[in-house]
A and B are shown apart, each in its own frame.
Chain A
Amino acid sequence: MRTPTSTSEPNRLLDEPGESGSLERALLRAGSSYRTSPNTRAKVLAGLGLAAGSTTLLTGTAAAASSAAKLTWTKLLLGVSVVGAVAAVPVGYYALRHPTAPVSRPAASLPMVSDPAPASAAQDTKQDTQAVVPAAASRAAALLTEELGALDHARLSLASGDARRALEELEAYDRRYPQGRLQIEAEVLRIDALAKVGRKDVARQRAEAFLRHHPNSVLATRVRAHLAD
């Protein structure tokens, strides 16, 4: 929390314990506690064409995941004990009983950073939940990092002019991660690689199919550029 720079800076509403009702506090917390998942980060990095490569990402992501999860839980538990008003009890209770991620794509099967996951594991002790959450989150983070690393090999091969090798690596990616989180990114690389090894017709077909299936994808612009070439 930053200290106000002058006296005319009013306190944040959340910092006014005496005045705000419990619903108000719950709403304010909902607005400020929003966190992204490792999945989002992986996709952003992949979309930027940034290397995953090093182990920094693996440990970094896992560490971020576990600390974010801890933070969320600390806040939640704090919310229950501090507010204590009638409405806040069900909030805390339901959150413990039916933990869900505040930030999640409904389709995503990976546990989110702040998703305390299996409801059965969310017993009413703090230690239990904290032990379970980071484990699930690190598994998800580790898997994503692996995927990102695999795609990165293909990207580097492509960048160094070895499109044939990139294609082999992309096939390996498909075999290894048939339900991969980064399939869309892999497909864009594949279109590029196919064009570079001279299979322009196949590249064009796949590019057209990609645009049919993902017309609004962030990566559609890149695919359209391929088609225009």
Chain B
Amino acid sequence: MPHLAVRSGAQAEPPAVIIGGPPPLAGAVATYGNAAPAARDRDARLRSMVDRYIDFVARVLRNAGTPDAEIDDEVQRTFITAARRLDDVRPGAEKGFLFKIALNLAAHARRTLARRREVLAEEAPERNETFPTPEQLTDQKRMRQLLDGVLDRMDESLRVVFVLYEFEEMNMSEIADVLEIPRGTVASRLRRAREEFRERVSALEGIEQRARSLHLKDERKP
């Protein structure tokens, strides 16, 4: 895991420019740089991380393609992984640290899911979760599924930038920091990601409109 989360040598670094520069978490200051941090501080720091970032972690996982049914486990896994390396995390760098863990786990979950789909394709499907009937499917859920479809087709490197900018409202410098790429690259990836996003959405819009007009015609029939 890159330097973002890890203390680098003996340099007295200023607090890193990490994602919005939140105030230090409880326990973070006491823990940092202390060879034997008090368990209580550690617990307090972990708890603050959970409280502050649990939704962020869940969104990152979800928008990186982790299925709904696995979000709970993956959120838990993210924090457990973070807890194991908590002493390496610079105060203020928690969000970026969690982000990277979540992204790795999401990639892993996607690969597992792809393998499982291959197996399921040869057998009878066990459950119907991914293809609910229209009655079960509210519009809210449907939007989520459509978004999954759009994001899923986007190249990973574009999607990450898109998600962090549009959904997490991070600015370009923050994204450049956390992904360790130049700011110019962030800008160009965002531009391409937006183009792709809009293309796919207008394609979807066409399909939606056709479906709606068909539906209206059906309703008018006696």
Q: Which A residues are closer than 8 A to B by beta carbons?
A: 1-2, 4-5, 8-10, 12-14, 21, 23-24, 26-32, 34-36, 39-41, 43-45, 47-48, 50-51, 60, 86-87, 90-91, 93-95, 98-100, 102-107, 216-218
Residues of A within 8 A of B80 (CB): 47-48, 218
A27 contacts B201, C-beta separation under 8 Å: yes
- Chain B residues within 8 Å of A23, by CB: 146, 201, 204-205, 208
Complexed CA–CA distance, A41 and B51 (Å):
8
**Chain A: which residue is nearest B43 at the CB level?**
A50
In the complex, the answer to whether B77 meets A218 with C-beta atoms within 8 Å is yes
Q: Given A32, A50, A86, A102, which contacts B141 in the complex, CB threshold below 8 Å? A: A102
Q: Name which of B58, B77, B168, B202 has the most chain A CB atoms within 10 A of its CB.
A: B58
Contact yes or no, B62 A34, CB < 8 A: yes
**Contact A28 B59, CB 8 Å, known A47-B79, A105-B72:** no
Q: State the CA gap A93–B139 with chains docked (Å).
A: 9
Q: Is the Cβ of B55 less than 8 Å from the Cβ of A21?
A: no
Across the interface, which residues of A come within 8 angstroms of B29, CB to CB? none
Does the CB pair B140–A102 fall under 8 Å? yes
> Closest Cβ of chain A: how far from B142's Cβ, in Å?
9
Whole-angstrom distance between the Cβ of A109 and the nearest chain B Cβ:
14
A30 B140 Cβ-Cβ under 8 A: yes
5 A–B contacts from the bound complex (CB under 8 Å): A13-B194, A34-B62, A41-B54, A91-B140, A218-B80
**Cβ–Cβ contact A27 & B171, under 8 A:** no
Chain B residues lying within 8 Å of A39, measured Cβ to Cβ, are 72
B201 cross-chain contacts in A, Cβ below 8 A: 21, 23-24, 27
Known A-B contacts A29-B143, A90-B139, A103-B68; A44 and B150 likewise in contact (beta carbons under 8 Å): no
Chain B window 42-82, contacts with chain A (Cβ cutoff 8 Å), 1 for yes, 0 for no: 01001100110011001100110000110111011101100
Q: Which of B55, B83, B166 contacts A12 (CB 8 A)?
A: B166
Of A14, A39, A47, A86, most B-chain CB atoms within 10 Å: A47
A119–B97 CA distance with the chains assembled, in angstroms: 40
Interface size class of B (residues with CB under 8 A): 35 or more
In the complex, the answer to whether B141 meets A100 with C-beta atoms within 8 Å is yes
Query: Least Cβ distance of A191 to chain B in Å?
Result: 17
With CB as the reference atom, state the residue of chain A lying closest to B151: A31
B150 and chain A: residue at smallest CB distance: A27
Bound-state CA distance A115–B82 (Å) is: 29
Give min CB distance, A9 to chain B, whole Å. Answer: 6
Q: Which residues of A have CB within 8 Å of B194?
A: 13
The answer to whether the Cβ of B198 comes within 8 Å of any Cβ in the partner chain is: yes
State how many angstroms separate the Cβ of A45 from the closest Cβ of chain B: 6
Contacts of A40 in B (CB 8 A): 54, 58, 71-72, 75-76
Q: Name the 5 nearest CB pairs between A and B, nearest first.
A: A94-B139, A30-B143, A32-B167, A98-B138, A47-B76
Contact (A87, B76) CB under 8 Å given A12-B169, A21-B201, A50-B43: no
Give the CA-CA distance A26 to B141 in the complex, in Å: 11
Question: CB within 8 Å of A: which of B160-212?
Answer: 163, 165-173, 187, 190, 194, 197-198, 201-202, 204-205, 208, 212
| Across-interface contacts of A36 in B (CB, < 8 A) | 54-55, 58, 71, 75
Q: Does B153 contact A (CB under 8 A)?
A: no
| Contacting residues, chain A, for B151 (C-beta < 8 A) | 31
Residue of B54, B138, B146, B187 touching A95 (CB-CB under 8 A): B138
B144 within 8 A of A: yes
Residue B20 at the chain A interface, CB threshold 8 Å: yes
A216 to B129, CA, bound (A): 19
CB distance from A85 to the nearest CB of B (A): 11
Query: What residues of chain A lie closer than 8 Å to B158, measured between beta carbons?
Result: none
Cα distance A227–B23 when bound, in Å?
42
Q: How far is the CA of A217 from the CA of B76 in the complex (A)?
A: 10
Contact for B143 among A8, A26, A51, A107, CB less than 8 A: A26
In the assembled complex, which residues on chain A have CB atoms less than 8 Å from the CB atom of B198? 24
> What residues of chain B lie closer than 8 Å to A31, measured between beta carbons?
59, 63, 147, 151, 163, 166-167
